[in-house]
Structure 1
């Protein structure tokens, strides 16, 4: 395994997944989405988010007028499907955690979609990392600080990249400013998939 680049505490494994691994993961995600279809979340204030999402694992992350939270069921009321083995293997390789993730959040970015700077604070134990996998078109990832404001740092995440957010970086603000269309052929209709795994309880 290549050594990661450390960026403000984030560990960036550039190109960790080769094309075959990416393709297998994409196909596994199709089965997840067939069981738990992508949905369009809204913020507690009622503003529609530009990403579509679903989850796998014991818990899924949801957002609606009731707030941000983890739920054991899809908005349709059905349980989330199991986390694919190909995704779990990445967690076990890079997380350093003795536990397996309980949530695999899947965000789909179409052209024009983005994710504002935010912290991942809905989990019970911030000593557990968040592991992120990028598939499809490039995404411009922005890393901020432990509080809002101040200088930020950006880098392009490409298909097959893996990012680990733990330790000093666990509660840093971060987000996706934009995606670069047609920079990958992994997804036939374009777009970017971001997979994030977390220990919830």
Structure 2
């Protein structure tokens, strides 16, 4: 992967033409399992203030304290969204739940996304693929296999990224498209790589805490 490819890992739209193809100019956007709400806050800066953005998570402990007026925070599980939200969102986002949702919870979460989406609406899911691409060095292979085995041992779907297309089709979604992008990790990729390494460490640090809670 070149430095230019690493920089191209940016997944939000870069200009008005890309923005219009991603997010509705009006209507409602949902960020399911929002965590800190960062994605919702980023999107609030990308779309018109008239767009209504809802962000939900099973816990509000990490919610931003003062979101913009068009960002609404709700405590709710990704597997059980509010009943009155059926057919009400133009766009639904969900990301990085491979280390959060149990294997049997994935169909529930995807079915809920389908339920709350308006006919003709779109969803976007972003997941980390531990096996693509992986340079086959002993150290990388060791940590990759260790993480996969640990996630699987507690019932998590470590290969969710590879199974999303099939699972989406099974709950009713059509026109499913998969886009694979490299994730720059490490000082080789300058500041973006350092940020990637930090995010990776924090993600698995949070997962270890979550796993201990489940086991106890």
Give TM-score, length-normalised by structure 1. Answer: 0.30
Higher relative contact order (CA 8 A, sep 6+): 1
Instruction: Flag the structure with larger Rg.
Output: 2
